[in-house]
Amino acid sequence: MELPEPRDLDLPRTPPLVLRGQVFDASRPAVMAIVNRTSDSFFANNRHADLDSAKAALDRAVEAGADIVDVGGVRAGQEGEQVDTQQEMDRVLPFLAHAREQYPDLVLSLDTWRSEVAREAGRFGLDLVNDTWAGHDPELVSVAAQVGAGVVCSHTGGLPPRTDPHAVTYPPEPTGVVVDVLRTLAEGAHRAEQAGIPAERVLVDPTLDFGKTTAHSLQLLRHTADLTALGYPILQALSRKDFVGESLDLPPDERLEGTLAATAVAAWLGATVFRAHDVQATRRVVDMVAVIRGDRPPRLAVRGT
């Protein structure tokens, strides 16, 4: 019997992300810890309306291995309280000031769609603007460039902030959503570079759940490797999302294992930045995938030697 020759692995890779002098790539994937300065986050364990609670969450995230901390002051979905611009600033700015003082080398990210909030946050050495709502505020990308921050380019299917999806379609199904995401992210990344943000500080995020059904999100997860062709680092924000919950019929506080499975798949297919509620578990998963892919050596290799 003639055996087939082993084939070289042709694994998808993206250029590195460079923020605050740190380089993140396939050999050093980044974990982005989530700190919600809200009382109504969909995941109850990440509600830190009290500043002291948020500071404690920051310390835990750093200790657990977070490379980036992403703070937000407004719940993404349409349920929950209304938060105006001043209220959002009152929530996130004191946290950013504290985080920069305590952790000078930590990469700090702000989850906002408002340029006014990002401009004020720039005073605290903001490194990244996580524009989850796909350029709804057209000034946001220019403000990110002005304060020296990178930007996350996202896809929401054209929905405005805090809009839950309803009767969403991307013809032709099932791959129409992939085409729409690729086009939207390419356009967003181009606008970011035109605004003066270096490509090494531009992230693309397919933004699962936002403007999408569970079937759309799963399709995009399977097609993570197609995003590498855009030529930018890929962020996957998978943590405890509804597509995980609906896939397994589980509430948010029981979605960890499903999240980690999705994380491993995304990491294998070329994503290098992972927004996560569960920092330590995510850290271990993405580091293990990097070793399996051959992008980094095992920390120990003594068995059988």
- Give yes or no for residue 60 having a pLDDT over 90: yes
Share of the chain above pLDDT 90, in %: 93
- Give yes or no for residue 271 having a pLDDT over 90: yes
Share of the chain above pLDDT 70, in %: 100
- Sorting pLDDT into bands at 50, 70 and 90, what band is 44? confident
Fold of 18-76+84-293: TIM Barrel (3.20.20)
- Sorting pLDDT into bands at 50, 70 and 90, what band is 157? very high
The predicted-structure confidence for 236-266, as pLDDT tens digits, reads as follows 999 999 999 999 999 999 999 999 999 999 9
Q: Give pLDDT, residue 1.
A: 86
User: What is the rounded average pLDDT for all residues in the chain?
Assistant: 96
Rounded Cα distance between 31 and 290, Å, is 13
Provide mean pLDDT across the span 173-194.
96
- Sorting pLDDT into bands at 50, 70 and 90, what band is 80? confident
Tell me which of 267 and 77 has the higher pLDDT: 267
- Sorting pLDDT into bands at 50, 70 and 90, what band is 173? confident
- Give yes or no for residue 9 having a pLDDT over 90: no
Domain segments of the chain as ranges: 18-76+84-293
Q: What own/partner pairs with CB < 8 Å and gap ≥ 24 does 174-183 have?
A: 174/215, 174/219, 175/219, 175/223, 177/212, 177/216, 177/219, 177/220, 178/219, 178/220, 178/223, 178/226, 180/155, 181/155, 181/206, 181/220, 181/227, 182/226, 182/227, 182/229, 182/230
The predicted-structure confidence for 103-144, as pLDDT tens digits, reads as follows 999 999 999 999 999 999 999 999 999 999 999 999 999 999
